[in-house]
Structure 1
């Protein structure tokens, strides 16, 4: 079922937390296809200006990349670029207002799991032709699973995201802890950290916040579980399956077994990162993009020489799958410059610029040969290993409501940890709620 269009009357409540915006028009957007090369008389788009939104706060590496990309775009097309950074705390309000018709971009960065949501509101222009031509044809088709809807591609991958365990190498050396290769070894390491560093320290931090399913999902998928599967035209929840229950039990055991404090059941990755930077966390699941924030939050005390990653071990053996995440780039649905926007997406996702975006931004490259080269890089190998088994959440526009707004599984976990429900009841209730949300 298509989500109701956002109107001005619902500006402050309609968009989901950290979601990206839908366009205000009710017309189906026309496909955004590249314009032919400029003629000999000059660049084809001289005098035009393209508004591009990037999400999050700028940092020196990102700013340098965008300056170079935009300079190349101007050189090729003649068009100027107006770049705007949208800080995470204001993304919701900014994009919701834009969706209500109050000034949106021409091109926007977008999380890959957000594409089904905003496509369902006619928010994104199809760019199918870009995905099948030129260098972009080398992008593996499995990276376009969330971006391809009813045969049309609505965004292109810019950089892929997987997660691994970040840990304090100095603490491991001090406490004579070997890098864990099994779940039991991880538990033992976390307990030792907590015992030696203090009761307020999380040996392995429990994530129960807005991005909790990145951790829960990894543990459930490693057992062979799924959140929900499409059967016919309906989603059927699978979280009462014993396989999901096994992963869920491992997830809640981070608190019930004493690896992480019970007083921090709602912390998300940002909260954990700040505690990590202040010597209150020994290990947690995250990605390379947290490193600049840790250095800043620790006032320069925690840098690369004290930090490293290893793949999250699966309790059933081997390495746990990672959330199949990443950042995409898309043409905004209501833009009047679809052709120019498509030219920008084409340049940004070319091999040179997509590789740079990923490698300089703590993400994984989307081009196979570049990704393969990371296997021999000690810093990147854990992410490449996790990404090889990566899984995605249900590709439904309502998943964000279950994941963030209603916090279905976060609430289920808290109910179990706090003794308000047994595991079977909590998962049965969560399964029912998940089905109701996905099948709206």
Structure 2
């Protein structure tokens, strides 16, 4: 009997010992968030992926990890074509995503479905919020005026021009669309295969009809619903819209290569960098291409042409940046990473190496942006009363359908198969119906 009691006592002691071990083990795992030995691992997903950019991000993350030894970052880089879809699927599955890339075309969907965190409680105490440009603040607070992401840069268009051609012809750099058309015609010499303007008549042509019309209408458009005017009309049923199509057709017929009727982004950029055209309106990534293919001093940039008589230029400010997943278990640590990447020092580094317009006002003091090819972008951001932001109506169900339709209609217009009046009436009717259906 004594032998049995001793055996039972020994069994109890073993069980207690094992229980203590398990308790210690569990305590050590949870202590990782309370300053223990283990690290917090943040899952970060990017969207606009490329080998060069992923390498750049990893370098910045490595610096963050050195400054925050208790945090490890796992960067997930889906293929570019399916990245946004992949991120949406992860969010719908309530996966534990801590930091994710949010874009102007995804932020409303993510915010409305409560996939991403409202960052107000962080930005209200963030010392760098007040140093952001108005364009960046506008992008960050596009949904209900609350910040759902911190953009890391801006994709805006500006005027690229052949400085040597302008100096040779004694023509000043155009400041308005009317001046641009006049200069383009003067610089066109078809016998030398020289043309004044890199026209876009193919995919994406609707972009140029948009911001030309906005510039002519000026402050009469509704900023956050920019296909409509303040008096309730569609922008396509205005006198200014007819003026824009006249200008657009004149620019094509008298100052652009004939085959630019089908040009999209690659062709119009190549037209400029190869020495065929004198002017191009495009995003800042063209700067790298131009630096690689053109002689220094032969080209420069200038602010986007303004409308007449409005005296303003308007365009959408394309933004993308970093948000925090609503299902993250480490939101404070995620904000540490977002605020690190968004700091003036780190953002300047990212912008320089990724051909972007920086997000902080202080970037205007950096010689690289103040005096170089980016200076026109800095000038525009410094004058928000002259260079305005217009928001595309991307939340309407028919927006994608309209864009595809408009590109085809513009080609038909350029080829003489569709009249200006018919094109404008078609687009106006489309958006009247969209507006009615939205109500």
TM-score between the two structures when normalised by the length of structure 1 = 0.73
Counterpart secondary structure, 2:357 = coil
For residue 265 of structure 1, the aligned residue among 261, 274, 284 is 261
1:57-83 Cα shifts (integer Å, max 9, x gaps): 3448x8446513442245326333333
How far off its partner does 1:309 sit? Answer: 0.5
Alignment of 1:26-425 (within 5 A): 41=35, 46-59=39-52, 63-64=55-56, 66-76=58-68, 78-85=70-77, 88-89=80-81, 91=83, 106-138=98-130, 139=132, 143-148=136-141, 149-150=143-144, 152-173=146-167, 177-195=171-189, 198-199=192-193, 202-209=195-202, 211-223=204-216, 224=218, 226=221, 227-229=226-228, 237-255=234-252, 257-295=253-291, 300-302=292-294, 304-316=296-308, 318=311, 320-332=313-325, 337-371=330-364, 377=371, 379-387=373-381, 388=384, 389-394=387-392, 396-398=394-396, 402=399, 406-425=403-422
Q: Which moved more, 1:84-93 or 1:50-59?
A: 84-93
Q: How far apart are the structure 2 equivalents of 1:77 and 1:407?
A: 49
Find the aligned partners of 1:181 and 1:368 in 2 and give their Cα distance: 24
Q: Deviations over 1:337-392 (max 9, x none)?
A: 54443332222222322333334433333223434778953533321333331312
Confirm or deny: 8 A CA contact 2:393 2:399 kept in the other structure.
Answer: no
Deviation at 1:188, TM superposition (A): 3.8
Say which one has the larger Rg. 2
Question: 1:435 deviation in Å?
Answer: 4.2
Change in 2 beyond 3 A, CA 1:406/1:310: closer
Q: Is the 8 A contact 2:370 2:378 kept in 1?
A: no
Shift of 1:285: 0.7
Q: Residue 204 of structure 1: CA displacement? A: 1.2
1:411-435 deviations in Å (ceiling 9; x for gaps): 4433322333322321221123234
Unaligned stretches of 5+ residues in structure 1: 1-37
| Aligned CA distance change for structure 1 residues 77 and 316 (closer, same or farther; 3 Å) | farther
> How far off its partner does 1:87 sit?
6.0
User: How far did residue 261 of structure 1 move?
Assistant: 3.5
Q: Residue 58 of structure 1 contacts residue 85 of structure 1 at CA under 8 Å; is this kept in 2?
A: no
TM-score normalized with structure 2 length: 0.73
